[in-house]
Amino acid sequence: MEIDSGDTAWLLVSSALVMLMTPGLALFYGGLARSKNALGTIMHSFMMLGVISIQFVFVGYSLAFGPDQLGLIGNLDWIGLTDVSATEPGPYADTVTHQTFMVFQLMFAVITPALITGAFAERAKFSTFVVFMLLWSTLVYDPIAHWVWGGGWLGERGALDFAGGTVVHINAGVAALAAALVYGKRHGFGRDPMEPHDITMVVVGAALLWFGWFGFNAGSALTAGAGASNAFVVTHVATAAAMVTWVGLSWYFTGKPSVVGAAAGAVAGLVAITPAAGFVTTNGALAIGLGAGAFCYLAVRLRSKVGLDDSLDVVGVHGVGGAWGALATGLFATAAISGGPEGLFYGDVSQFGEQVIAVGATMAYSFTVTLILLKVLDMTMGLRVSEDEEQAGLDASQHGERAYVLDGGSPYTGIPVMPESPASAEAVPATSRSEASS
């Protein structure tokens, strides 16, 4: 087929929308952090636009989408984008150039490791963080992307993942669980106040994510046609349903409709509809959104009760939301939308089984390899900053800057601000992000 200018334009616009999601995530996470860690948290996401873009162009794209090797990984034929044509289509899309498809996938590769950073916010040593993200993208993201989208074994079995339920969200969510366990708790966790410092920023970040997600999901149709339109509509419907559900539950359990909860609920809906967006009707999307709002809300409440210090609730939102969305795809998929497989509720039990296998395989591989990587890096480079550096805040200790100048702009000396006294800390009830949003 010939290159179609409309499809090319849509995929390039979608690539730009997905790119915007990473700065949106930076604001979402940055607002949830304490003010002394705002820049450090933002930097974790924003840095991925540089580091992972280079990794993906040099080797990541070839590993994820290059010619298949035993169903497990691509080869290195396309290293440095060799033979990735700017004028001819590639093997994955007939009406856009190979290069256009590559840059769309690059933006997915950028945001996925950025999602993990919420699990270890406020305590990570920046130098080790950069090394970890490069290794994780190469050894975890690229193989799983190949398994599902690049001709690997899960895709060949028939697992459905339209835009990243397994590749992006389960992958990042399970890696976040491993990271939270290995990094350990922040000093003062469960005792000192750790509520979000800027909820306005959180809502702006969530809004940018919602906006960019239309490129994430509708762009995954790869053409500017009916498939993109349906993906766009069901994305919005599921997100709205999840947001309303989360707010309703927080209102019921706490007596107040949480603003942070509204933002978190919207993100949970976006996560859950992602694998299903090309396969379900608006009614299916409504059900997926309602489930996402409920399951993710309850997961966040559970996380706060068991004491896991997943700083920004990556596991509860992305891990649980991604798993629900991937499994729900096996329930609600219909040939009336995709022209392909039918889900359990439309008579095909086997498709749900394939979704279970995909979820299980992604969880097992991502958790195991992430755990090994972090253990090795902890022994060799050290994962965490010192207690004094953590108390001062990552903005000062890791970056020598501060997010807010509140003293008339006097020169910054780089001297860490001392933490509040124990007496003043005890005077304020300890509040976690999850408690604030739930």
As a whole number of angstroms, the distance between CA 333 and CA 280 comes to: 5
CA distance 305 to 385: 26
Pair of tokens at residue 262: 């509204």
Residue 141 lies in a domain: yes
In a domain, 305, yes or no: yes
Over residues 293-347, the pLDDT tens digits come to: 999 999 999 998 999 999 999 999 999 999 999 999 999 999 999 898 999 999 9
List b or e across 84-118, with b for residues whose CB sees 16 or more CB atoms inside 10 angstroms: beeeebbebbebbbbbbbbbbbbbbbbbbbbbbbb
Cα distance between residue 180 and residue 308, in whole Å: 7
Residues linked to residue 384 through DSSP beta bridges, in sequence order: 124
pLDDT in tens, 240-289: 999 999 999 999 999 999 999 999 999 999 999 999 999 999 999 999 99
> What is the largest distance, in Å, between two alpha-carbon atoms of the chain?
71
Q: For 105-145, how does the pLDDT look when each residue is reduced to its tens digit (9 = 90+)?
A: 999 999 999 999 999 999 999 999 999 999 999 999 999 99
Give 140-192 pLDDT, tens digit per residue. Answer: 999 999 999 999 999 999 999 999 999 999 999 999 999 999 999 999 999 99
Separation CA 187–CA 238 (nearest Å): 37
Which residues make Cβ contacts (< 8 Å) with residue 6, sequence separation at least 6? Answer: 224
* Residue 425: pLDDT band with limits 50, 70, 90: very low
Provide the pLDDT confidence category of residue 406 given band limits of 50, 70 and 90: confident
Rounded to whole angstroms, the Cα distance separating 181 from 170 reads 17
The C-alpha angle with vertex 351 and arms to 169 and 277, in degrees rounded to 5, equals 45
Residues 6 or more apart whose Cβ sits within 8 Å of residue 297: 245, 246, 249, 250, 261, 265, 268, 438
Please compute the mean of the pLDDT values over residues 222-248 and round it to a whole number. 98
d(Cα 91, Cα 294) in Å, to the nearest integer?
39
Alpha helices in 120-258 (DSSP H): 126-136, 142-149, 153-157, 171-183, 199-218, 226-254
Query: What predicted TM-score, i.e. pTM, was given to this entire model?
Result: 0.92
- In this structure, is residue 282 part of a structural domain? yes
Kindly state the tokens that stand for 109: 């590769």
Query: What's the pLDDT at 396?
Result: 95
The answer to whether residue 86 sits within a structural domain is: yes
* Domains held by the chain: number: 1
CATH number at residue 235: 1.10.3430.10
Identify the residue with better confidence: 104 or 418.
104
- Secondary element (H or E) of residue 107: helix 98-116
Give the model's confidence band at 27: pLDDT under 50 very low, under 70 low, under 90 confident, else very high: very high
Q: Is residue 423 part of a domain?
A: no
Angle value at C-alpha 27, between 249 and 413, nearest 5 degrees: 130
CA–CA distance, 165 with 142 (Å, rounded to integer): 15
Strand partners, 97: 89
- Full domain range(s) for residue 116: 5-380
Phi-psi region of 102 (alpha: psi -120 to 50; beta: other; left: phi over 0): alpha
What is the C-alpha to C-alpha distance for residues 225 and 212, in angstroms, rounded to an integer?
A: 19
> What is the band of 436 on the pLDDT scale with cuts at 50, 70, 90?
very low
Q: Is the pLDDT of residue 413 over 90?
A: no
> Is residue 404 included in any domain, yes or no?
no
pLDDT at residue 74 above 90?
yes
d(CA 329, CA 356): 10
The rounded distance, in Å, linking the Cα atoms of 321 and 79 is 34
Locate 118 and state its tokens.
């919420």
Contact 417, 396 (CB under 8 A): yes
Residue 437 is predicted with a pLDDT of 47
Question: Does 369 reside within a domain?
Answer: yes
3-state class (DSSP) for residue 95: coil
Q: Return the pLDDT at 408.
A: 60
Domain assignment present for 387: no
More confident residue, 328 or 436: 328
Q: Which residues of 282-315 are buried (b: 16+ CB within 10 A; e: fewer)?
A: eebbbbbbbbbbbbbbebbbebbeeebbbbbbbb
Q: How confident is the model at residue 407 (pLDDT cuts 50, 70, 90)?
A: low
Q: What is the mean pLDDT of the chain?
A: 93
Nearest-CA neighbor of 168 among 322, 278, 356, 15? 322
Mean pLDDT of 204-226: 98
What is the pLDDT, as a whole number, of residue 410?
52
What pLDDT is recorded for position 423? 36
Between CA 31 and CA 438 the distance in angstroms is 16
Distance between CA atoms of residues 117 and 72, nearest Å:
26
Q: How far is it, in rounded angstroms, from Cα 113 to Cα 150? A: 19
- For residue 239, count other CB atoms closer than 10 A to its CB: 28
Mean pLDDT of 404-427: 49
Buried b vs exposed e over 181-201: b needs ≥16 C-beta within 10 Å?
bbbeebeebeebebbbbbbeb
